[in-house]
Structures are given as C-alpha cells and as structure tokens.
Amino acid sequence: MRYRILGGTGIEVSSYCLGTMMFGAIGNPDHDDCVRIVHAALDQGINVVDTADMYSAGESEEIVGKALRGRRDDVVLATKVHFPMGEGRNRRGNSRRWIVTAVEESLRRLGTDRIDLYQVHRPDHNTDVEETLWVLNDLVTQGKIRAFGCSTFPPEEIVEAHHVAERRGLGRFRTEQPPYSILARGVETSVLPVCQRYGMGVLTWSPLAWGFLSGRYRKGQPVDLSSGRPQLAPARFDPSLPVNAAKLEIVEQLVDLATGLGCTLPQLAVAFAVAHPAVSSVIIGPRTMEQLDDLLAGASLTLDDATLDRIDEIVPPGTDVYQVDGAWRPPVLADPNRRRRALPDRAAA
C-alpha cells in the first residue's frame, strides 16, 4: 500500500480509502461481515475509513464504530453531514443549528470522541458558506473534529469558500471529495486543478462508476434491475437507454485493455484514479470480502504513459460519459424559476 499526505493537513493516508456506503441496509446488512471487511482492509494497509451520517440512515456509522473498537487510534476516520436525517425541516443542510446536532449524533454512532475529517456532503444554497465555516472552525477548537472538507462541490464554490475563509480569518476546507472515474472525468477540467492550486487533499469516490467498471455489466448481457445497485437506480443500468449503451461500449474496450495488462477491470479503474497527481486517496466501497480482496490485489498496479494514453483515446480527458451525481442538482438547474426572467404583470400592461 502506498501513502500520501492529505493536502496540507500533515495527515498521512493510504492511497486506497475504505468507503462504507454499502454497509447496512442499503448494501450488506450483516454487521459482523462488515466488521470483518474493515479489519481485513486495515490489516492490508488501509488507514483511512470514510462514511457519512446518511448512509443507511446512520447504520453505516454504527458498523464502523463497532469495527474500530480497540483500533481507533490507528485510523483516519472521515464522515460527512448535509443530507436529511429523519423527520424535521432543520435536520439537514449546512447550518450551524444542524451541524452542531449532527456532529454529536455522528460521534455517538461512531463511538468516538473525535472525527479526523468532517466533510460537508454537498453545498447548501440556503446557508451562507461563512456560517458553515464558522461552526466547523468552532468544532476544531472544541476538539470534536481535527480537519474539515467538502464533497462534490463545484469549483466556483470551492473558490468562494476559500475567499470567505481568508477574508474572515477562518480555517478553510482542507479536502474535497469528488466523483472520479474513467467514465466520469469532468472534474479534471476545474475541480482537481482548483484543489491543487489551494493545496487541498482529494479523496475521490465511485472509481467503478456505480459498478459499471466492476465487470459485472457487459454488452449483450441481461441486467437484473430488481436487485443490488440496479434496484436503487434502474435508469442508470437499463441497457436500452443510449447513455448506458455508450457505457457498455466503453467497458468492452477497457476490458480488453485490462486483459492485456494482466489485471481485472476494477483494478484498472482504481489505478487510473490513483494516477492523477491531485488525488490523495481513492475511496473503494466493497460490499463483500471478495470485492475487497480483488481491489486490494491491484494496490501495487501503476499505469504507464502508454496505458493512460489509451484510456484518453477511449474517454477523452474532462469528459463525463453520464450524469455523475444523481443525489444532488444545483438549485439553478433544478428550479426553473431561477433560470427564467419573470413575465411582466398583465394588469400593469
């Protein structure tokens, strides 16, 4: 396992990060099995574990807490806040009111007194970013979190947050967690360069592009839309849709490339993300021990220029083959009223 410094934090992290989104009801409901996966990852050199309060409605954090009993000091523990947690209009977002509550709930579920990296899961356009930065700074002062970052922020909002932090004398986002894979290279255009400019660490998610780079889905083969990931988002996997057909065409070319290198498609996919100079650690999210073992078997794989050039031919740099983030859309795109000038009042005319 290789290790890198996480931005300017001084924290050393493994180039592979164990993501736990698939722990709990949404993926693997067997707590003991999930604990074994965490222990196996740690035993093989992974030292950073990433979760979020909303993963399986807090169940993932509870599993991670069980797994880290007796090993907490050896792990860089990361979690996130933003998405709704239960009933109530204010049990969500990036306000001081919610974050102060959410961090205490995460600490309780994780069974720890501190979080090494606390990440704002998505932007909140109803909350001034200064409000969010103030409360995160307070949590650092209180010792409840060690560092804080953002996740899936557009580049302009990362820049704005840094400007606000500098203007107000506040600590700044130290990390960003964007989606990044061979099928989702859009962050290469601005997000990753912005992170490099500001000295931010980068932990990327979905290197297997929602499972399309797992090798499980192939051209001409039927897809069971009633179970697993396809059940969660059938439109992402329906092979009759043009966007998915395009992904399957690319997968066939990548399978040939991986075969020529003597590795599996998932190993090629993760090695691609690790290769970018802005990336500190790539989040892998195994649901089973078998998936973990396959991914870790490729931890020493380094892609040469010829291989990276071939990937560039298959999917050009900066290209997103599909809409990457299905969980959130900027309000300016989701709300038509923000994109349309109001019509003159007819009575006044």
Domain boundaries, the chain: 10-336
Mean pLDDT across 7-22:
97
Examine the residue annotation and report whether 55 is marked as an active-site residue of this protein: yes
Mean pLDDT across 255-260:
98
Inform me whether the pLDDT recorded for 178 exceeds 90.
yes
- Report domain 10-336's class: alpha beta
Strands 201-204 and 12-14, sheet pairing: unpaired
Output the pLDDT for position 339: 86
Marked catalytic residue, from 55, 118, 180, 217: 55
List phi, psi (to 5°) of 35: -60, -40
Those residues with Cβ within 8 angstroms of residue 338's Cβ, 6 or more apart along the chain or in another chain? 331, 332
Inform me whether the pLDDT recorded for 230 exceeds 90.
no
Output the pLDDT for position 323: 87
Rounded Cα distance between 82 and 94, Å, is 6
Strands 48-50 and 145-151, sheet pairing: unpaired
Q: Which of 51-55, 78-82, 154-158, 236-240 has the lowest mean pLDDT?
A: 236-240
Output the pLDDT for position 220: 87
Torsion of CA 98, 100, 101, 104, to 10 degrees: 150
The model's pLDDT over 54-100, given as tens digits with 9 standing for 90+, comes to 999 999 999 999 999 999 999 999 999 999 999 999 999 999 999 99
Q: Which of 113-127, 190-204, 335-349 has the lowest mean pLDDT?
A: 335-349
Q: Is the pTM of this model over 0.85?
A: yes
